[in-house]
Amino acid sequence: MSAVPETVDLLLTARWIIPVQPASQVLEDHALVVHQGRILQVLPRDEALQRFTPEQHLDLPEHVLIPGLINTHGHAAMSLLRGFGDDLPLMTWLNDYVWPAESRFVDERFIADGTQLAMAEMLRTGTTFFSDMYYFPEVVAEVAQHQGMRAQVCFPVLDFPTNWGSGPDEYLRKGLALRDQLRHSELIQVAFGPHAPYTISDGPLSQIATLAEQTGAAVQIHLHETAHEVTEAVQNTGLRPIRRLSELGLLTPTTQCVHMTQLDDNDIALLKESGAHVLHCPESNMKLASGQCPVHKLLEAGINVALGTDGAASNNDLDMFGEMRTAALLAKSVSGNAAAVSAHQALAMATINGAKALGREQDLGSLEAGKLADIVAVDLGDPLVQPVYDPASHLVYSTNSRQVSHSWIGGQAQLVDGKLKRIDLQELHGRIAQWQQQIQQAKNSG
């Protein structure tokens, strides 16, 4: 007598599955079995159809299934400032455009609308987990939870007052209260977000180091973003910024270092020794002419490198497929090595490496039995993107993110046939148009 098939929530059968772990593997004509929000099995299609009776079976004959993409660094609500001050160097862009606009407009409503806009773009382009460093993190967390999207919310800490607080003491008090409030959330994790070494002094940085050790929370910081930052730091403190962080106890395996375009061999050795992670934002770095992160050297040294888009004000999109392609091509150009950052490595940087950087590699970042069912399907069936010799190479070098057809977070559908399930784009568009009008009028009036 044959065994009775096991009833499960969801069965996905696809032309290809790229699980990311084991590395560089491509499975053809396989299936993902999903039950109670987790991946139960990854196995050949015919075997899955014999063994399991799904509540829902979705067959994707021209698609590749990959882990949900993880955008490790951004400022979600800055999507409302997309294209606001382009073709400018970093400090001019910050001092003359971004910070004045933020001072005038950033409040809870700005954050809620801008974050929802960013989430709609990210979900539409394959991202299922994002890290945000911006003001009013409690609003970001609320919006993400409401939409069922995963987020690491990094609460900002700076020496000076902003629309969210008066200074380091208030930022830390509010951020720790938010962490307490969300400590049991399945979707949101809270991290420290000291902005950058040039905007925060030693006292608060030392305090963050102590609190991070006590709580186990991660720390994300902009670091070695420009040559000017490093030169000025040496002039003012006698130390390169990364050495200063190390001496303050803030360079640890839970530290997430954003940008890292200005690194010498001593910096790389310090990174390796500390176990800290590098969050690479190639398109933002290029657009602001900040420099190039030596990704190939970092990977060769065994340092974990993950990908982020940065905010849409400096990119100008939140498309992780574009980021993968740029990261792979730029690494080859910078290193002079055409083999640097292969397609599989670029995909790993956008998935499992991101999960490691955010402390979630046990649950996320690859399609393995027991992990959370954060899954993306990409349609490779369009005649204009044929032939497909290697689906991993195709994803990184040929795929447009609009080919993302489906996504699931914890087994719950977020995108079906290219349409968002939980965000009303038409209603959102009306609110964004109102913001554009206000911000444009303010810009025109000087």
Per-residue pLDDT reduced to its tens digit, 360-411: 999 999 999 999 999 999 999 999 889 999 999 999 999 999 999 999 999 9
Domains parsed from the chain with CATH numbers = 6-67+373-410 (2.30.40.10), 69-357 (3.20.20.140)
Low-confidence ranges of the chain (pLDDT < 50): 1
pLDDT of residue 1: 41
pLDDT of residue 94: 83
- C-alpha 36/C-alpha 38 separation (Å) is 6
pLDDT of residue 89: 82
Note whether 112 and 76 are within 8 A (CB): no
pLDDT of residue 3: 63
Q: Which two tokens stand for residue 37?
A: 């929000």
pLDDT of residue 2: 52
pLDDT of residue 13: 98
pLDDT of residue 4: 60
pLDDT of residue 399: 93
Short-list 64, 192, 191, 187, CA closest to 129: 187
Q: Which residue type is seen at 102?
A: E
Residue with tokens 């839970």: 254
